[in-house]
Amino acid sequence: MMSTETWPASAVRVWNVAQRFQKFLLVGAVGLGVNLAMLFLFHSVAGVGLRIAAVVAIALSMVVTFALNELWTWHDRSRGVMLSRMALYVPINTVGLLINTEVLVLLEDRGVYYLLANLVGAGLAAVWNFVLNNAVTWRA
């Protein structure tokens, strides 16, 4: 681990956000695995329509990512009642769900394979989710 004791405060803040973002991305990778597996299962195996399958798959991945973010990414900010943070997390990530779903459907309508289109949508939603959850749900 690199020592930041001699760094200016602004550099330390950037470093800390970068470290937290790396954890968020690893948690997101797990959530994305859940999302893609469930999307494939619901859409390709069970025959559920793409938009509904995507919403259900993303919602399931939100449960997984909330738990992992609570326990690891922002463990040092997990004070007070967990349900309060969940009440902030769900609306923020619901907007992320909408971003992901709309990008997925838009790209799939233009001929992009639906699992690849889902990756693009998830990437855009991840930026939204991190910025707002870092500032609001698990604020310092």
| pLDDT tens-digit readout, 26-62 | 999 999 999 999 999 999 999 999 999 999 999 999 9
Q: How far is CA 94 from CA 23, 31, 46, 88, 100, in A?
A: 21, 14, 24, 10, 10
Per-residue pLDDT at 12: 87
3-class SS of residue 106: helix
Per-residue pLDDT at 1: 60
